[in-house]
């Protein structure tokens, strides 16, 4: 699966890393299922999906911790399937940091260089340079990981990966163990660092906010397969399947019934014109922030109007999330202010409503 052409993505068209029909099974479980994927050179690419979708397994296959049962991996057109992990030109930052607790920060960072028998004077120089790169003071080098905060440990893990000068940097949910404020700050720092050094980066997360805010390219996975690849805004605004639409953002996912003539879809008591609707069950999807309350007598064009009762509203700081009962269907409505009436009419622009064939 390749990234669709777009003026924004012209600079991302060359791919140093290519996966061809990669499959990995653990017993009867297919963890990665025939994945073909081009990773753009110099881009920040995120593998996004729910727990168990295969994203971490795929990352570990690229790193060389797992061997694929089928398929091939190419780095700069060279097949690396059988190549040892330390010779692949990749480096990985783990979710639990995987720092040696008995070693100092210096020794943790220098570990890869020592395994490669790098001269000590070069090790000293590169450790200090890498500490500057991840913006940690040199006096931390004598400390042990247990003396550091979670954010500081994450920087050490990142420095240890970068010091070996990999061609591809792999990050497996590196911020999941941090509190919200530290996570926000490190998102910015990791993205800024990646842009400065221009390293091809593959980042694994189940956090859609992380994926959308940090990435050049988002790869959505489900049940071991890649289901959509694109720019963050493309993925969010133009999901290719009902799963992607529901997974990215707060969406309303409703069962629809196609009319006999195939020209419309009935959903929640409303008929939506839909020329060429498939002759099968469909799923109707629109996002919670795309439903706008309108006056009882308002007339709207190019919009679908639902009418229902507000069951509940919760305050989330930047907005209120309303639960609206429309003909026994619950529709979520996100608005900056609370809807002040029990009965409400909701207008959703037709171009914001997507109809997917149920599988």
- Determine the Cα–Cα distance for residues 219 and 197; give it in Å rounded to an integer: 22
Length of the chain: 359
Which residues in the chain are classed under CATH 3.40.50.300?
7-244
Helices (H), the chain: 55-63, 105-115, 120-133, 150-162, 180-197, 208-214, 232-237, 242-247
Residue 7 pLDDT: 33
- Determine the Cα–Cα distance for residues 340 and 124; give it in Å rounded to an integer: 65
Contact predicate 97/156, CB 8 Å: yes
27-78 tens-digit pLDDT: 999 999 999 999 999 999 999 999 999 999 999 999 999 999 999 999 998 9
250-357 — its CATH code?
2.40.50.100
104-129 tens-digit pLDDT: 999 999 999 998 899 999 999 999 99
Compute, in degrees rounded to 10, the torsion defined by CA atoms 192, 163, 179, 200: 50
Helices (H), 68-179: 105-115, 120-133, 150-162
Compute, in degrees rounded to 10, the torsion defined by CA atoms 3, 357, 233, 167: -30
96-100, 216-220, 281-285 — which one is most confidently predicted on average?
A: 216-220
Residue 141 has pLDDT above 50, yes or no: yes
Q: Topology of 7-244 in CATH?
A: Rossmann fold (3.40.50)
Q: How many CB atoms lie within 10 A of CB 225?
A: 16
Which residues in the chain are classed under CATH 2.40.50.100?
250-357
Global pTM? 0.85
């Amino acid at each position: 699966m390749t990234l669709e052409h777009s003026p924004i993505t012209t600079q991302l068209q060359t791919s140093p890393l290519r996966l061809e029909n990669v499959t990995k099974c653990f017993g009867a479980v297919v963890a990665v299922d025939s994945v073909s994927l081009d990773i753009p050179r110099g881009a920040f690419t995120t593998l996004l999906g729910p727990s168990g979708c295969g994203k971490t397994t795929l990352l570990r296959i690229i790193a060389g911790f797992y061997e694929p049962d089928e398929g091939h991996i190419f780095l700069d057109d060279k097949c690396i399937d059988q190549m040892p992990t330390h010779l692949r030109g990749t480096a990985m930052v783990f979710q639990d940091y995987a720092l040696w607790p008995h070693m100092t920060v210096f020794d943790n960072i220098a570990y890869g260089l020592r395994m490669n028998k790098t001269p000590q004077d070069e090790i000293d120089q590169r450790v200090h340079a890498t500490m500057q790169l991840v913006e940690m003071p040199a006096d931390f080098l004598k400390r042990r990981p247990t003396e550091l905060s979670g954010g500081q440990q994450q920087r050490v893990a990142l420095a240890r990966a970068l010091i070996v000068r990999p061609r591809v940097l792999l990050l497996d949910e590196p911020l999941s163990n941090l509190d919200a404020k530290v996570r926000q700050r490190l998102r910015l720092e990791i993205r800024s660092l990646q842009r400065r050094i221009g390293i091809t980066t593959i980042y694994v997360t189940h956090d859609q906010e992380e994926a959308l805010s940090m990435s050049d390219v988002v790869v959505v996975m489900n049940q071991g397969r890649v289901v959509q690849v694109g720019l963050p805004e493309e993925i969010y605004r133009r999901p290719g399947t009902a799963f992607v639409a529901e997974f990215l953002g707060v969406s309303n996912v409703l069962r629809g019934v196609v009319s006999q003539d195939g020209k419309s879809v009935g959903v929640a008591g409303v008929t939506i014109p839909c020329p060429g609707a498939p002759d099968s069950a469909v799923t109707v999807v629109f996002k919670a922030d795309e439903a706008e309350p309108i006056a009882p007598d308002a007339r709207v064009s190019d919009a679908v109007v639902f009418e229902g009762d507000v069951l509940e509203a919760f305050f989330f700081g930047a907005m209120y999330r309303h639960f609206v009962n429309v003909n026994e269907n619950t529709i979520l409505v996100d608005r900056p202010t609370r809807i002040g009436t029990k009965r409400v009419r909701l207008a959703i622009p037709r171009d914001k409503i997507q109809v997917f064939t149920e599988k």
